[in-house]
Chains A and B, each alone.
Chain A
């Protein structure tokens, strides 16, 4: 746009006519007359050929200029739409990420709760497990067995250490199925009556 303006200003006095079409038609008429004339009058130099060709289309120049502006505007609009669309997408993704990290946090905390000693002990008792109170040790250097092999199993004691976070956690029942904790009438009561509990010493495998 800027480059076309001076050209139009310069050509206007030279051609003496503002109309582009008139300039183009008068040019061939004057050109052949030049070599034929003997006397040379001072006259305004004609605009160079290239300038004249450019100057030939100020309307097209203007249209191009407006077009460029429109293209720039359209591009900018497009870009800003794209960016703000991106902002919405980013926000949606941020919300999704937040929700997922919330879920992840809850799940990992549930794992912490389920792996608490109270929960493990209650479930183990419900499944009829007993504890080998005094494990013996095998010394690898000489194969000696340290400690007594006839160790008694310790009786299962109901959990005596409260944990209120477990109230919402499921517990296994006698069949080993997950059931809501309050459905079995309290885990403490349940651990007193396991399905089958091993009595006496743990059986040792008879290997030789």
Chain B
């Protein structure tokens, strides 16, 4: 029996050892797998895993038809390892492409010359980059050779097979249409920080969220199978769409640039607005910035001056005075007024017309046609200042716009209790107050749209990466004057064009046009007084007059060669023709009987 008992004992001991060992393993297993699993995983991943940032792509800016105005491009940084350029006496082997077999030895100097030939640098310049880096830190492992090379250059550099040359990628903004709408799109500065335009105002929509993925990789940089963990997915930026039409915008910029150059003017602006929606389809300025090459443009002309630079509009605002008079029932288009060319209605207050004439028997229509300051101020004074101030505001003067730009000036309109007597008269013909050209277009949009003002819009909305759309709110439409008033003012404005000195310049066969010129004095910021003999010439027009579809306003400032008025009317006609072609507007129907201008 003894051997048997010994055997049993042995088995029991063995079993006990196995059970104890199993228990120990079990405890440890639970500890590793469950209790401290998270901490251990973290430790392990930090040792072998590489977190990699997945860059999100900044969204596009597109025009009303989806044509790309701004997009994101990939550029490549060329880097080298300064310390490795000196390894092995600066020599490295390279496969022999000519023989197809074996290697050739290349010196660092030769390599510098090869790189320089592709990046546009000289071998000495690259040598200097290496020397500078090594002088600062003899073990330097990183220096930029050139940042932002394009894909063909990258591929050629890769073919050189230089072991110490590495590449990285980054995103840059690309504007395929150059300066077309450059004033509106804006541009980005260093490291992609938006500085102006829609790039700045819609930055939140355009910016995506960077993602991150983590994986373990071997010595050769290959991800270990099954170790890729995407901790955060990258969300690309949204797409911003504008109400601008790319081709019309270009034609408008061509037109205003040509007139500014022809008359050697200080500046020019030209905007086109949709009457029914208040959308701006073209906002052109002379010398707009090419966002691809910001430094090449005049620093004073980089902003969207149509929104940021208000000026005194002058006679184009006589339309507001006439509208207020008719809407209040104080006057009709046929209201008579014996109009002299100069008036001093009260002591110390005087104003005159732009040309000399005997006292004329003009109707209100005639006063607008002749653009008489005396007539407008005389009749305008029939309304109290508060009423005229109220009408100016109803037409959007002194009221901020929310078209979607980062900065939109609301113009300058003092409250009526701050008006002195001269100012009270001057505001009736568009002086002593200021408005942006977009606000001026809004005034004519109101008249053309049956008296309902629709706040101007430029940015339509934002569509995010998931396809969710957010419309930009520009404000609620508001009735400024009655429909009858706007009809009568339309007829007056059409009479103005048919009787104007510029009727042959503006003529577009088949289309009826209503509008008003303006020649406004401007305050010289240096002296604080009006400039003498130097004006801003404007033309604000509505077409087709029988069924208003678009409003265009052209302004030419301080021409030094040739007539600014002709230039403004010509720019208007050119952009009106372009708008008619772009939106295929059918010609006018019916005939127009001009209203009587004299009695």
Q: A112-B176, A116-B180 are contacts. A160–B257 as well, Cβ < 8 Å? A: yes
* Selected interface stretch from B125-133, B222-230, B377-385: B222-230
Q: Are B71 and A112 in contact (CB under 8 A)?
A: yes
Mask for A103-116, Cβ within 8 A of B = 1, else 0? 10110010011011
Q: Does B595 make an interface contact (CB < 8 A)?
A: no
Q: Does B288 contact A (CB under 8 A)?
A: yes
A57 within 8 A of B: no
Tell me, in angstroms, the Cα distance from A133 to B581 when the chains sit together. Answer: 8
Is A188 among interface residues, defined by CB-CB distance under 8 A? Answer: no
Kindly list chain B residues whose C-beta atoms are within 8 Å of the C-beta of A163: 177-180, 290, 292
Contact in complex: A112, B68 (CB < 8 Å): yes
Q: Is A74 an interface residue (CB 8 A)?
A: no
CB of A117 within 8 A of CB of B258, answer: no
Which chain B residues border A109 with CB–CB below 8 Å?
A: 71, 73, 174, 176
Per the bound structure, the CA–CA distance linking A134 and B247 in Å amounts to: 16
Give Cα A107 to B355, complex, Å: 60
Q: Which residues of A contact B581 (CB under 8 A)?
A: 135
Contact A139 B254 (CB under 8 A): no
The reply on A24 being an interface residue by CB < 8 A is no
A109 and B292 CA atoms in complex are apart in Å by 14
Report if A102-B74 is in contact (Cβ < 8 Å); known contacts: A86-B225, A109-B176, A165-B175. Answer: yes
B179 touches A159 (CB 8 A): no
| Cβ contact within 8 Å between A117 and B177 | yes
CB-contacts of B582-599 with A (<8 A): 584, 586-587, 589
A97 CB-CB contact with B under 8 Å:
no
Indicate if A137 sits at the interface (CB-CB under 8 A): yes
B93 to chain A, nearest CB (A): 24
How distant is B270 from chain A, measured CB to nearest CB, in Å?
Answer: 13
In the complex, the 7 A-B pairs of residues with the closest C-beta atoms, listed nearest first:
A163-B178, A112-B176, A117-B250, A147-B510, A160-B257, A146-B587, A164-B293
Closest residue of chain B to A111 (Cβ to Cβ) is B176
Work out how many contacts link A and B, with CB atoms closer than 8 A: 108
Q: With an 8 A cutoff between CB atoms, is B577 at the interface? A: yes
Within 8 A of A (CB), among B554-595: 577, 580-581, 584, 586-587, 589
Contacts of A147 in B (CB 8 A): 509-511, 587
Residue of B nearest to A88 (CB): B222
Beyond contacts A102-B74, A112-B71, A160-B257: 14 other A-B pairs, Cβ-Cβ < 8 A, are A84-B224, A84-B225, A109-B71, A112-B68, A116-B176, A134-B510, A146-B510, A151-B509, A157-B254, A157-B258, A161-B288, A162-B179, A163-B292, A164-B290
Sample of 25 A–B contacts (CB below 8 Å):
A83-B225, A84-B224, A86-B225, A91-B222, A91-B223, A106-B150, A109-B71, A112-B68, A115-B176, A117-B177, A117-B250, A117-B251, A134-B577, A134-B580, A146-B589, A147-B510, A161-B250, A161-B288, A162-B179, A162-B296, A163-B178, A163-B179, A164-B290, A164-B293, A165-B175
Residues of A within 8 A of B293 (CB): 162, 164
CB < 8 Å neighbour of B178 from A105, A136, A162: A162
Report the bound CA distance from A88 to B296 in whole Å: 47
The answer to whether A164 and B510 touch across the interface, beta carbons within 8 angstroms, is no
- List A residues at the B interface (Cβ < 8 Å): 83-84, 86-88, 91, 102-103, 105-106, 109, 112-113, 115-118, 121, 133-137, 139, 146-148, 151, 157, 159-166
Q: Please tell me if the beta carbons of A118 and B509 are within 8 angstroms of each other in the complex.
A: no
Given A88-B222, A134-B577, A147-B509, does the pair A164, B296 have CB atoms closer than 8 Å?
yes
Minimum Cβ distance to chain B for residue A41 (Å) = 19
Instruction: Return chain A residues, CB-CB under 8 Å to B261.
Output: 160
Residue of B nearest to A151 (CB): B509
Residue interface bits B76-100, CB-to-A below 8 A is 1, else 0: 0000000000000000000000000
Given known A-B contacts A102-B151, A161-B288, A165-B175, A137 and B250 have beta carbons under 8 A apart = no
Q: Which residues in A have their C-beta under 8 angstroms from that of B150?
A: 106
B160 at the interface (CB under 8 A from A): no
CB contacts (< 8 Å) of B246 on chain A: these are: 117
CB-based nearest A residue for B11: A9
CB of B118 to closest CB in A, whole Å:
14
Cross-chain contact B71 with A161 (CB below 8 angstroms): no
Q: How far is the CB of A147 from chain B (nearest CB, A)?
A: 4
A102 to B152, CA, bound (A): 10
Question: Could you tell me the distance between the alpha carbons of A109 and B71 in the complex, rounded to whole angstroms?
Answer: 9
Interface presence of B485 (CB below 8 A) = no
Contact status of A161 and B254, CB under 8 A, knowing A109-B73, A134-B577, A166-B178: yes
Q: Are A116 and B222 also in contact (CB < 8 A) when A134-B577, A164-B293 are?
A: no
- Is A161 a contact of B223 with CB atoms below 8 Å? no
> How far does the alpha carbon of A148 sit from the alpha carbon of B577 in the complex, in Å?
13
